[in-house]
Amino acid sequence: MKRSTLLASLLLLFPVAIHAQGRPELHVARAMQPPKIDGILNDDVRDDDPLVLGDWISYNPLYGTPMPRRTEVRFAYDDRNLYFAFHCLDSEPDKIKTTISRRDSVFNDDWVGLSLDSNSSGQAAYHLFVNPSGIQMDALNTSASGERFEADFVWESAGRITDDGYSVELKLPLQSIRFRGGKDVKMGILFWRRLSRAGMSSSWPDIPPGQWVFNRHAHLVFADSEQPRLIELLPSFTYSINQLRTTPSRWNDASRNADVGLSAKYGITSSITLDATINPDFSQVESDVFQVQVNQFGRSRRIDCGQRQILQHRPRDLRTG
């Protein structure tokens, strides 16, 4: 009975092992000089030939149609960042749809992006998308909860429409992701592109019905790469002015209060992080994602996955400044 159970288990695992061994491998080169992220593919590192990929196959709305527009992908890395460049060819560039909008809100545009399983665990992946104007969309995809767009990662992008389509550049700091460093580092990778006017989304490798990125990731292979030591210091300073209303037309004298604090994060290993706080601000709780607004379009930079900006409606008899 034990022998039959063992044989059945091996038969179940065997197709999975064959599939993992048969995944494409992309060996990537180290950048001698980091490229400028401006949407113009004229840096020395962009002179290399694009990655040799197969056909990009549609997965939405239907599976199996080859993408009618060619997409060239170039990739390089150094000790600090991963650099991706996409040349999305299009014979009708005037029909490319792009908008300047808030983060995570341009899925109806043309866009290009990637799914990166940095630990090759088959359990979690970073999903990054960029439209031709350089507007970002990102999500953390896990096998347990799917795509979660609440996580805003720290990365840089730029895009522009060209005479033969559009180009997008992307820089992802190694400090923003988690992986095991060393020799022959492997990360899972999948690329996708949306052609808005055709209503078609395609990917390489393809995504057959009933499967998702974790079943289809190719392997990015680095000759050597190390996880940068994570050190973050976030000082805080708050100054509040509170007044209480005594009558509908009169306020009491204001009380003023200043407070300082410091939060620190130290990466012990690629999977263990030490967090410390001096005089914490308890208005920021673990279920929140802290964001810093940097322009009128709501572009934000993730400081910590466990914090979120919170808006509170204060009582009408309390005025703050």
From 164, 156, 166, select the one nearest 196 (Cα to Cα): 166
pLDDT above 70: residue 306: no
Q: If pLDDT is split at 50, 70 and 90, which confidence band does 282 have?
A: low
- Mean local confidence (pLDDT), 242-258: 85
The pLDDT of 63-76, averaged and rounded, is 95
Q: What is the DSSP string of 142-198?
A: ETTTEEETT-----EEEEEEETTEEEEEEEEEGGGS----EEEEEEEEEEEEEEGGG
Q: Choose the CATH number for 23-225 among 3.30.1490.100, 2.60.40.10, 2.40.10.340, 2.60.40.1190.
A: 2.60.40.1190
The structural domains of the chain, with segments of one domain joined by +, span: 23-225, 231-320
Q: Tokens 């008899």: give the residue.
A: 317
Q: Reduced to 3 states, what is the DSSP secondary structure of residue 2?
A: helix
Q: Is the pLDDT of residue 290 over 60?
A: no
Residue 80 confidence (pLDDT) above 50: yes
Instruction: Quickly state the pLDDT bin for 176 (edges 50, 70, 90).
Output: confident
- Percentage of the chain lying above the pLDDT 90 cut: 47
Quote the pLDDT of residue 238: 85
Cβ proximity of 34 and 77 under 8 Å: no
What pLDDT was estimated at residue 143? 87
Has residue 241 got a pLDDT over 50? yes
Strand residues in 37-155 grouped as ranges (E): 57-60, 71-77, 81-89, 111-117, 124-130, 136-142, 146-148
Q: What integer pLDDT is reported at residue 112 of this predicted model?
A: 98
Q: In angstroms, how far is the first alpha carbon of the chain from the final one?
A: 74
Confidence of residue 318 (pLDDT cuts 50, 70, 90): very low
Lowest-pLDDT range of 79-88, 109-118, 195-204, 265-274: 265-274
pLDDT of 6 > 60? The answer is no
Say what the pLDDT of residue 244 is.
86
Check pLDDT > 60 for residue 237.
yes
pLDDT tens digits, one per residue of 152-171: 888 999 999 999 999 999 99
Looking at the chain, the whole-number percentage of residues with pLDDT higher than 70 is 79
49 vs 132, which has greater pLDDT? 132
